[in-house]
Structure 1
Amino acid sequence: MGCTHGVVYYASPLWWQESARDHGDALLSFKHPPTVYICDIAGRVARHVNNRTHQQFFQPHDGRVCEPTEANISLASAGKLRVNLDWVANIKKKTRLNLEHSTTEQFSQPHPETGTSDRFSFYDRFHQKKQKRPEEKLRSLKAIPELASLINTAEAEQVNRELSSSRYSLCQMKDTHYMFSLRLYFHLHNARKNSAFLKEMQKRTDENIHLGLHGKLACGQKETITQQTEQQGRDPHVPAKVDSVPEEGKKFSVAMFPIEQRHKETISKLYSVKRNDNEVIARISSYAILYLRDLKSVLPPHLLSDTSGIAMPWLSDNVSTKCYKAL
């Protein structure tokens, strides 16, 4: 299992034919189950996992985009069904939720990234057309255009295709060697994906971009490991202390990133023209896309008229220059 960027998060060798139980074991092993799960047996997976969790996992509508009424099924069959979900439109604006001390039930907790407790089970684009049951037509990403534009449903198949070149040698290995080789392959695969994305992002800015402690890209000073001097000595049984970034270093201020008046005027002209908030300003990669709404979320239009400079967010000259040059 992996994300839409191609990073593999879960792998398990199957000694028997693939079944919905294998998918269920994986989904129930996550601390935060994914909001959207895409596979080639989405209907079977939804029914199996819901039966194991007393109908609590894939909800609402058993993981479908909407209620399986005759009207919705008819619209889906004609390709005219469109569903707008609030968490999809706001996914880039929401901050990470703190769920460490949450007292809600396991399957009722909102996902820390999407901010919703809803979960959906969809088919990939190769298997969606093969479904004969009418209600299974409501497990298509096409009904959610904003989400469909962000997700490559064939990502898992593409990773399997990469593995096909090593199929013969893998099949000749003993069990332990086979599992170790798979884990090593996926580790190198993820490292290659992350490294390529990091280099691409570093080309877009002069700031120090690095992978943080939680695997996310961070901007600013890196976390450092305190090294004891040779004179002091070091106890091998005592773990090294991790120095976090100072509190004042975490905050961005206008004094650190002064925004020139000419840049404010340029952005004001951009806002003055009536545009669609979903308009693409720049494409960093096939998955990292900068929309006009993203710029407005960082720099709301009403802050441009603020002359005090105190309310100005962390937007720097470097960022604003690249935004309007991309136009």
Structure 2
Amino acid sequence: MPNVCVYDFARGLAAHTNLWVPDKLLFHPHEGRLAEPTEENVKAAQDGSLKVNLPWLHERMDSVNENPHPVTGSSDHYVLYDRFHEGNTKDPKDILRRIQLVPELKGWLNSQVVEQFFANMRKSNYFLSNMSPSTHVFLMRNITHHYNTVTNKKLLERQLRHGRLGKINISLSALGQAVVAPQVCNKPRETTETVLNPAPSMSEPQVRVDNKKANRRSTDGTFPDLCGPPCEVLTKPENILASRSSWCFVPHAGQQQLVC
């Protein structure tokens, strides 16, 4: 169950849902409100001085509560009003269900997208309304799933797969999150090591190699190709990224010889 639900009539959704399980309220704390419905909190929300931070929306928290969300780690569940329908209620306590009270959601949550999706779904009402409840719910979930899949695919192609991020592999985790996995230099380094001659031991005589000859690829193996195309790819500016692979980078024999 998501930690934050946005609904046109949040008060009615919270009351209806909590009536089904009165022994263990699904929307809590404060019956899904962002703060305790006291006169001080209501007045502070009206003045614009009340802010309710939900840091687990950005960084997962270590929760000891029962049934925490797998992504956020929080077991709190709130019901907030859609920005277009905040005036649907006359209860002053419902001001504690507004999105702008949460800094992590203010200016980031675009509820207009949902209105556009519902407008697009109107063309399907003629056959959805004739289905049984179970079939209706099943098909609605399928339509929504395919819509989200197409939207996410366009987002990845437009915003993540361009420019210097073009060399990155993007996959979905078990929770449906987009995971960025940059192509590390393991394979190029293995390829480079196969074409290099073994590093000379300390007992062998060291032969000074002329710089001009060392820059050329030798056909007889006398002058090994210390850094070939794989190393050239790694040093291009568009391929230099902040990734975990750079923390444990181990230079191959040719690179170590150049450093020495």
Q: TM-score range by the shorter chain?
A: 0.5 to 0.7
Which residue number corresponds to residue 81 of structure 2? 123
**CA–CA separation in structure 1 for the residues paired with 2:26 and 2:131:** 37
- 1:57 to 2:26 alignment: yes
CA apart distance, 1:170: 5.8
Question: What do residues 182-232 of structure 1 show as CA deviations (whole Å, max 9, x unaligned)?
Answer: 56643442331122122132223412223345533234499xxxxxxxxxx
Q: What TM-score do the two structures reach when normalised by structure 1?
A: 0.48
CA contact (8 A) 1:50 1:57 kept: yes
Structure 2 CA distance for partners of 1:183 and 1:114, relative to 1, 3 Å: closer
CA contact (8 A) 2:54 2:104 kept: no
**CA–CA separation in structure 1 for the residues paired with 2:144 and 2:180:** 27
- 1:94 to 2:55 alignment: no
**CA–CA separation in structure 1 for the residues paired with 2:86 and 2:46:** 11
**CA–CA separation in structure 1 for the residues paired with 2:152 and 2:99:** 26
Q: Aligned ranges for residues 183-194 of structure 1 at < 5 Å?
A: 185-194=143-152
SS at match of 1:146: coil
CA contact (8 A) 2:45 2:101 kept: yes
CA apart distance, 1:142: 1.0
**CA–CA separation in structure 2 for the residues paired with 1:55 and 1:181:** 30
Which residue number corresponds to residue 199 of structure 1? 157
Which residue number corresponds to residue 112 of structure 1? 70
Structure 2 stretches lacking a partner, 5+ long: 188-230, 250-260
- 1:146 to 2:125 alignment: no
- Structure 2: which amino acid aligns with 1:141? I
**CA–CA separation in structure 2 for the residues paired with 1:181 and 1:117:** 29
**Larger mean Cα displacement after TM superposition, 49-58 or 120-129:** 49-58
Q: Aligned ranges for residues 226-265 of structure 1 at < 5 Å?
A: none
**CA–CA separation in structure 1 for the residues paired with 2:131 and 2:20:** 33
CA apart distance, 1:127: 1.4
CA contact (8 A) 1:124 1:154 kept: no
SS at match of 1:208: strand
CA contact (8 A) 2:55 2:104 kept: no
- Structure 1: which amino acid aligns with 2:82? D
Structure 2 CA distance for partners of 1:207 and 1:119, relative to 1, 3 Å: same
RMSD of aligned alpha carbons: 4.0
- 1:163 to 2:124 alignment: no
Structure 1 stretches lacking a partner, 5+ long: 1-32, 223-247, 250-256, 263-294, 300-308, 315-327
CA apart distance, 1:36: 0.3
Q: What TM-score do the two structures reach when normalised by structure 2?
A: 0.59
SS at match of 2:104: helix
Report how many aligned residue pairs link the two structures: 194
CA apart distance, 1:62: 1.1
- 1:47 to 2:15 alignment: yes
SS at match of 1:127: helix
Task: Give the number of the structure whose alpha-carbon radius of gyration is greater.
Answer: 2
Structure 2 CA distance for partners of 1:221 and 1:116, relative to 1, 3 Å: same
CA apart distance, 1:124: 0.4
Question: What do residues 136-177 of structure 1 show as CA deviations (whole Å, max 9, x unaligned)?
Answer: 111101111222233223433221111234545766x6669x
- 1:75 to 2:44 alignment: yes
- Structure 2: which amino acid aligns with 1:85? L
SS at match of 1:148: coil
**CA–CA separation in structure 2 for the residues paired with 1:198 and 1:211:** 11
SS at match of 2:80: strand
More helix by share: 2
**CA–CA separation in structure 2 for the residues paired with 1:124 and 1:60:** 20
Structure 2 CA distance for partners of 1:78 and 1:130, relative to 1, 3 Å: farther
